[in-house]
């Protein structure tokens, strides 16, 4: 049995076939601080966010695409894997994605968390490569492909050819950073304290990084920073665009940096095929237009962008035998554990 695993900062996705996800849940875990008992994971835990008693903690144990709390990640992986692997007779092989710029220590922490379930093999693939496979791009030929995978914790930008990276860059100012900026902006300008879930809902509803709709608005609910009492207010898309402008510019500059470092031959391929956007943040209003305006290159948004990475991980399972036997030089999979 082969399992594709996208252990993302915001969502964990597992796939065991080529058509749909077996697991697609928030990467959240709730536990009792007194005895460390796990109370809930996934959607059930996410519903508790900001609404728990003092003795219950609800956390995202991954930050920036890497493990922040290893014990909790192991629990998260074990619970999700147990839902998929109903029988422990056959130990599965797992293809998991990792950010492009990751240390060996962080890499082994991810492998350790997956191995704690009891798997036969763990194979790793860079997130951008998996996103390319999942979006339908062929990176195994001598033809340049540019992918910008935009997640909650990281933005992975890469130009690929012949199964490898020509130029790549990873930045950690992504979807979660936008949520934090919205929280800070609303408190600073409007004196209203809101939570992460409210900020995320606002971003998904009206945020735009290019030409925001002046008529679009969202009702925020939170606590007045001066009086400490409940308060609600309506905020418009222009305000939210201002709040996230620094982060959208950081993403744009990173894309431009990668293009500037790309060899001319590969740039010609990218000019012809365009840039492919994947990841949940790719659906943010105006992102495609912003990149097209600044780079002059056509930008495409993948079909089902949030699922591209896990779909690509599953497509990469066909390279497992070659990776185990080291028969092929061109293999998108990295290390076999």
CA distance 256 to 267: 12
Q: Taking the domain 2-130+311-325, which CATH number applies?
A: 3.30.420.40
For the domain 139-173+246-303, what is the CATH code? 3.30.420.40
Longest Cα–Cα distance in the chain: 68
Name 301's Cβ contacts closer than 8 Å, sequence gap at least 6: 277, 282, 283, 288
* pLDDT for position 334: 81
pLDDT of residue 160: 95
Q: Check for a shared fold between 2-130+311-325 and 139-173+246-303.
A: yes
Q: How far is CA 209 from the centre of its chain?
A: 19
Q: Enter the pTM of the model.
A: 0.91
CATH of 175-245, one of 3.90.640.10, 3.10.105.10, 3.40.50.720, 3.40.50.300: 3.90.640.10
Residue 37: burial class (beta carbons within 10 Å; 0-12, 13-18, 19+): exposed
Question: Domain limits of the chain?
Answer: 2-130+311-325, 139-173+246-303, 175-245
Nearest to 132 by CA among 261, 256, 14, 302: 302
pLDDT at 327: 66
Q: What is the mean pLDDT of each run of 10 residues along the chain (337 residues)?
A: 92 90 94 93 92 91 86 92 78 91 88 90 94 94 96 95 93 94 97 94 96 94 95 96 96 97 96 96 96 96 95 93 76 81
- Give the model's pLDDT for residue 103: 86
Pairing state between β 2-7 and 11-15: antiparallel
In angstroms, the CA 219 to CA 236 distance is 9
């Amino acid at each position: 049995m082969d399992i594709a695993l996208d252990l993302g900062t915001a969502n964990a996705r597992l796939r065991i076939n080529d058509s749909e996800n077996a697991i697609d849940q928030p990467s959240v875990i709730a536990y009792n601080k007194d005895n460390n008992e796990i109370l809930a994971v996934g959607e059930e835990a996410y519903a508790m966010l900001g609404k728990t008693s003092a003795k219950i903690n609800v956390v995202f144990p991954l930050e920036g695409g890497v493990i922040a709390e290893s014990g909790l990640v192991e629990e998260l992986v074990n619970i999700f894997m147990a839902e998929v692997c109903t029988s422990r007779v056959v130990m599965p092989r797992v293809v998991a994605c990792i950010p492009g710029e990751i240390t060996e220590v962080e890499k082994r922490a991810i492998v350790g968390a997956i191995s704690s379930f009891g798997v036969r093999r763990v194979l790793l693939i860079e997130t951008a490569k998996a996103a390319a496979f999942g979006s339908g791009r062929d990176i195994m030929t001598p033809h340049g492909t540019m992918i910008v995978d935009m997640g909650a914790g990281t933005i992975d930008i890469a130009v690929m050819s012949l199964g490898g990276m020509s130029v790549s860059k990873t930045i950690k100012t992504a979807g979660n950073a936008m949520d934090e900026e919205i929280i800070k902006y609303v408190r600073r300008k409007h004196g209203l304290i809101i939570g992460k879930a409210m900020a995320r809902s606002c971003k998904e509803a009206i945020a735009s990084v290019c030409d925001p709709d002046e008529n679009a608005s969202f009702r925020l609910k939170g606590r007045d920073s001066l009086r400490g009492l409940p308060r609600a207010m309506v905020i418009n898309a222009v305000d939210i665009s201002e709040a996230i402008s620094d982060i959208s510019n950081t993403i744009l500059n990173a894309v431009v940096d990668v293009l500037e470092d790309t060899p001319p031959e590969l740039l010609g391929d990218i000019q012809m095929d365009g840039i492919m956007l994947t990841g949940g943040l790719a659906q943010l209003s105006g992102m495609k237009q912003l990149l097209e305006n600044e780079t002059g290159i056509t930008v495409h948004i993948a079909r089902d962008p949030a699922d591209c990475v896990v779909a690509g991980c599953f497509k990469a399972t066909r390279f497992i035998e070659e990776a185990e036997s080291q028969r092929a030089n061109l293999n998108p999979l990295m290390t076999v554990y």
